[in-house]
């Protein structure tokens, strides 16, 4: 497997661009194994039974049992075993960390204008187990506010300060706009998903999965990140955004932590 990050600004004659490529994803065929999984949030390693995936060291997974919802990294795989099934919890999800496409510098984030490079339904599994998803219902009114005047959100000073802190600490891990439909992931005490509509500088239908009945710090942080990202796009990549009607921005540390870290046989070039 090869993993390359190449800076190539010649083709666009703009800021340095990052090209991120991996070989096509391997076939995920079930192969029974006992695997050791390290959970960084708990600084602990436990053994799990796997009969749903073909797993390798470095893979990121979710499990059932007491650590449900926590992401773990495979540190050892054993194919020779005989166990009592009731003694072991299982691996329930394999995280897809393959990344394809071209990414450009955008402050604390990388930005892409390719819908297939890093879609929201893939990156959310980097933060939340797909098997833990629940059904949600939301409602919206007709209120809106200007992105260049966030006072229209009508939030308290304390919430604005906390949201600004989240923004400054790069808690907005991912944000995208696809033909006016916006989505963001903010990592705080939990992983929160933000949805909104964006059109001609106007924000509407802004909601957050933290279930506050008022505008929250996660929404405010997302709007600050959206404003910054759009300013950078307007200055450096306006043609690409106009052509695609889409952008996705991912925090630099997040991309490297998931797409590169832990891959013992990967490489990258600058």
Give tens-digit pLDDT for 96-124: 998 888 899 999 999 999 999 999 999 99
Taking the domains of the chain in order of start, what are their residue ranges? 33-94, 108-251
Backbone angles phi, psi at 259, to 5 degrees: -90, -20
Q: What is the pLDDT of residue 76?
A: 97
Q: What is the b/e burial string over 177-200, where b = at least 16 CB atoms within 10 angstroms of the residue's CB?
A: bbeeebbbbbbeeeebbbbbebee
* Strands 101-106 and 181-187, sheet pairing: unpaired
Are 94 and 53 in contact, with CB atoms under 8 Å apart?
A: yes
- Which segments in the chain show pLDDT lower than 70? 1-28, 131-140, 262-270
């Amino acid at each position: 497997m090869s993993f390359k990050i190449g800076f190539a600004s010649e083709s666009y004659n703009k800021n340095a661009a990052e090209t991120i490529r991996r070989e096509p994803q391997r076939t995920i065929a079930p192969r029974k194994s006992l695997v050791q999984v390290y959970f960084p949030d708990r600084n602990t390693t436990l053994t799990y039974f796997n009969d749903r995936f073909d797993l390798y060291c470095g893979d990121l997974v979710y499990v059932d049992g007491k650590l449900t919802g926590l992401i773990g990294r495979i540190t050892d795989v054993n194919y020779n075993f005989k166990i009592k099934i009731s003694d072991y919890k299982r691996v329930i999800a394999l995280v897809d960390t393959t990344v394809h496409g071209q990414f450009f510098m955008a402050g604390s984030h990388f930005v892409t204008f390719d819908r297939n490079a890093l879609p929201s339904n893939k990156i959310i599994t980097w933060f939340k187990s797909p098997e833990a998803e629940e059904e949600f219902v939301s409602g919206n009114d007709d209120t809106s506010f200007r992105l260049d005047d966030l006072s229209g959100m009508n939030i308290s000073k304390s919430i604005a300060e906390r949201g600004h802190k989240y923004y400054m600490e790069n808690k907005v891990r991912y944000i995208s706009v696809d033909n006016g439909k916006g989505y963001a992931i903010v990592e705080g005490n939990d992983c929160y998903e933000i949805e909104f509509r964006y059109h001609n500088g106007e924000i509407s239908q802004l909601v957050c999965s933290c279930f506050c009945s008022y505008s929250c710090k996660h929404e405010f942080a997302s709007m600050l990140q959206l404003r910054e990202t759009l300013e950078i796009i307007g200055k450096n990549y306006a043609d690409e955004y106009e052509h695609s009607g889409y952008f996705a921005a991912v925090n630099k540390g997040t991309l490297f932590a998931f797409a590169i870290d832990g891959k013992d046989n990967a490489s990258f070039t600058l």
